[in-house]
Structure 1
Amino acid sequence: MESPLSAVKRPRSFKPKKRLPKDIVGKYMFVLPGLLFLAVFMLFPIGYNVYLTFHNVTVFNIMSGYEFTWLDNYKAVLTDTVFLQSVKNSIVFTTLCLLFQFVIGLALALFFNKTFPGRGLFRALLLMAWMIPLVITGTLFQWMFAGEYGIINHFLLWANIIEEPIYWVSNEQTALYSTIIANIWIGIPFNMVILLAGLQSLPTDIYEAARVDGASKWRQFFAITLPLLKPTLFILVMLGIIYTFKVFDIILIMTKGGPLYASTVMPFYAYEQAFINYNFSIGATITTVMLALLIVVSLIYLRIARKEDEA
């Protein structure tokens, strides 16, 4: 005899719908333009640049076969006194620029984080330094640091700080620092905007509790503001190192790497070797060393950021 339950239709077991290959292909078609862009304009140039470092490519043999040189280009670069000087200059340039850009940018961010009449106008005026093309900025600072007619010397002579004009951009002792001052002025607005955004995102109830407990302004700054700004600071330092380490145009406009390589940084030395001396392999080797240094810095940043997330 048939059971009444046997007449009830049993639900069919659910089977996930198989995704058709055309659906997968369609989705990958959306990212294909981006992948092609990365391959053509990033991966291929980097790969070809590394390829040049293992060959002897100059203007004389660029149309003929390249001679494979193993690691000779790296040996030549790492033992070159001018390259070592450019590494030192790049480290000094990057360190001083980041230090003063951060300190002044943080001070301005704390100032503009307060409410007062005309805050938006003054903040917009400060952003002009970041919006002006670097060619114009470099030319302006070159005129300001001019020996006999520059406004810097005019002010220092008027204030009796110096007795005779200083040729800032053509002096071996001051050329690099002249470009550092120019680049600091350019980078302050960027640091101010990033830090101001970080300050405005901080919770206000913590500061109210600190004021109730009697914490001073300095105590609030070091115990609350800086620790909460730590993620923003890491990103800002990382971006600052990458951007400042590859600065080229300010050096080209103001000093052209001189005098006597006193203001030559790594990007400018690579440009000089590749497009002035037409030694493309040496120029490619210098840029590859720069890339390796920046990759190391990026890995250090990622490691620190991962520890912060885990903590």
Structure 2
Amino acid sequence: MRRIVSSITDGIGFDILLVGLAMVFLVALAGLPLVYNVMMSFQQVDMFNLNTLSRPFAGMENYREVTTQPEFWLVMKNTAIFVFGSIGGQFALGFALALFFMARFPFAATIRGVFLVSWVMPGLVVGALWAFILAGDYGILNEMLKGLGLIDQSLFWKSDPRLSIWAVTIANIWLGLAFNMMLLSVGLAAIPRDLYEAAELDGANGWQRFSTITLPMMRSTVGAVLALGLIYTLQQFDLFPAITEGGPANSSTVAQYWAWQWSFQLFDFAKGATVSVMMLVFVLIASFVYVRSTRHEVRG
């Protein structure tokens, strides 16, 4: 017994124990549901056979039916707008704020902490707030745009098919802005200050220092931030029921919300699983990019 305890408490044995417990946790809470979901995408699953594992095998029929739905390409277009619009907006604004807060000025840390409030707020709460901000008749956003002279009459962000997907995208940019700023700030802080001082002594201006020092030194951080942004955006669900409910006429329905509609509104769990598996492919690609972007940092 003492030999077993000794083998566990020494460095190697304890590491093996921790890794083993982590593997059990991942298999139980992530691996099994994932396998179960993939299996459902190749079966016929509805309310009548959901509680049993004896289900008709459908092969690729679910994938064929999902991809031939009239709204399929609209959902894919909305998903692309939502994902790339969110990632681009979060990254650009997050990078700008990270650079801004690198400067030393009074209350910089306090102001930066205020930005982090958006990241810790639940998605449904953020959606409810933005539902009021984006309201066509009394929304704050319309009043701000009118005050700036950018629009003459109110825009109905949530009910206009041309604007609804952008309404949710704007809310998601605000939600993920602090996360991007935080990660990019960490990357900027890791760049040695003496590089900037040497470049300044050589006569390099601000843009030259940014393009020759900041961007090259931030390459791995930028790759990780973009990959994580893709993963989190593809998982974002809460904003849609709170702001647009996928409407009007599916103009703001994205893949993750479409999967929920298949499963919990139409009760076709196989089709919902099929859409989820299709999204999983994109998440795996983003995860691969993330791992590749951080590999050399881990080695270092």
Partner residue of 1:179? 168
Match of 2:72 among 46, 60, 83: 83
Q: Does 1:131 align with 2:124?
A: no
Match of 2:252 among 230, 253, 263: 263
Name the CA shift for 1:132/1:29 in 2 (closer, same or farther; >3 Å).
closer
Q: Does 1:48 align with 2:47?
A: no
Partner residue of 2:21? 33
User: Is 2:161–2:251's contact at 8 Å kept on the other side of the alignment?
Assistant: yes
What TM-score do you get using the length of structure 2 for normalisation? 0.89
Highest Rg: 1 or 2? 1
Could you list the runs of 5+ residues in structure 2 that have no partner in the other structure? none
| SS of aligned partner of 2:71 | helix
Q: Aligned partners of 2:184, 2:146: CA distance in 1, in Å?
A: 37
Name the CA shift for 1:49/1:154 in 2 (closer, same or farther; >3 Å).
same
Within-5 A mapping of 1:1-311: 23=7, 28-63=16-51, 65-158=54-147, 161-302=150-291
Q: Aligned partners of 1:232, 1:158: CA distance in 2, in Å?
A: 38
Deviation sequence 1:253-307 (CA, Å, 0-9, x none): 1001111111111110000101111100000011011111221233345456669
Name the CA shift for 1:300/1:35 in 2 (closer, same or farther; >3 Å).
closer
User: Is 1:157–1:164's contact at 8 Å kept on the other side of the alignment?
Assistant: yes
User: Is 1:147–1:166's contact at 8 Å kept on the other side of the alignment?
Assistant: yes
Q: Aligned partners of 2:224, 2:20: CA distance in 1, in Å?
A: 29
Q: Aligned partners of 1:125, 1:21: CA distance in 2, in Å?
A: 48
Deviation sequence 1:235-261 (CA, Å, 0-9, x none): 111111100122111112100111111
Question: How many positions carry a matched residue from both structures?
Answer: 292
Give me the identity figure in percent: 36
Q: Aligned partners of 2:148, 2:4: CA distance in 1, in Å?
A: 79
Q: CA deviation at 1:163?
A: 3.9
Name the CA shift for 1:248/1:84 in 2 (closer, same or farther; >3 Å).
same
Q: Aligned partners of 1:150, 1:242: CA distance in 2, in Å?
A: 30
Name the CA shift for 1:299/1:81 in 2 (closer, same or farther; >3 Å).
farther
User: Is 2:157–2:164's contact at 8 Å kept on the other side of the alignment?
Assistant: yes
Could you list the runs of 5+ residues in structure 1 that have no partner in the other structure? 1-18
Report which stretch shifted further, 217-226 or 83-92: 83-92
AA of the residue aligned to 2:111: F
